[in-house]
């Protein structure tokens, strides 16, 4: 199975978990997913009053410079570690 196929399979599993990961785990998964699918941040920073959007933006920005393949690998690794806890 190719990296892209594995990433698609695992990301679909994550969307179907029965319970939601902790906020920190969710932000880490989100930022890896965005880096894997989009690359470096390509949008402006949200308003500081929007706490959720700001946290997501900050997490994604923290992945700047990471290759999309590395982000996919880290996403898969993290999701596999969390799978038994939330699936």
Express each pLDDT in 48-64 by its tens digit: 999 999 999 999 999 99
Instruction: Give the closest residue to 74 by CA, choosing from 10, 5, 1, 2.
Output: 10
Residue 51 lies in domain: 3-86
Helix %, strand %, coil % of the chain (to 5): 65, 0, 35
pTM of the model: 0.94
Rounded (10°) angle between helices 23-37 and 51-61: 60
Number of domains in the chain: 1
Distance separating alpha carbons of residues 29 and 76, to the nearest angstrom: 9
pLDDT-derived band at 13, boundaries 50, 70, 90: very high
Query: CATH number, domain at 57?
Result: 1.20.80.10
14 neighbors 78 (Cβ within 8 angstroms):
no
According to the model, what pLDDT value does residue 30 have?
Answer: 98
Average pLDDT over the chain, rounded to an integer: 97
Among residues of the chain, what percentage have pLDDT more than 90? 99
Average pLDDT over residues 13-42: 97
């Amino acid at each position: 199975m190719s990296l892209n196929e594995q990433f698609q399979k695992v990301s679909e599993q994550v969307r179907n978990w029965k319970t939601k990961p902790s906020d920190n785990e969710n932000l880490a998964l989100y930022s890896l997913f965005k880096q894997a699918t989009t690359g470096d941040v390509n949008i402006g920073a949200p308003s500081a009053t929007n706490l959720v959007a700001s946290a997501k933006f900050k997490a994604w920005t923290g992945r700047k410079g990471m290759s999309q393949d590395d982000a996919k690998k880290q996403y898969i690794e993290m999701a596999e570690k969390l799978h038994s806890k939330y699936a």
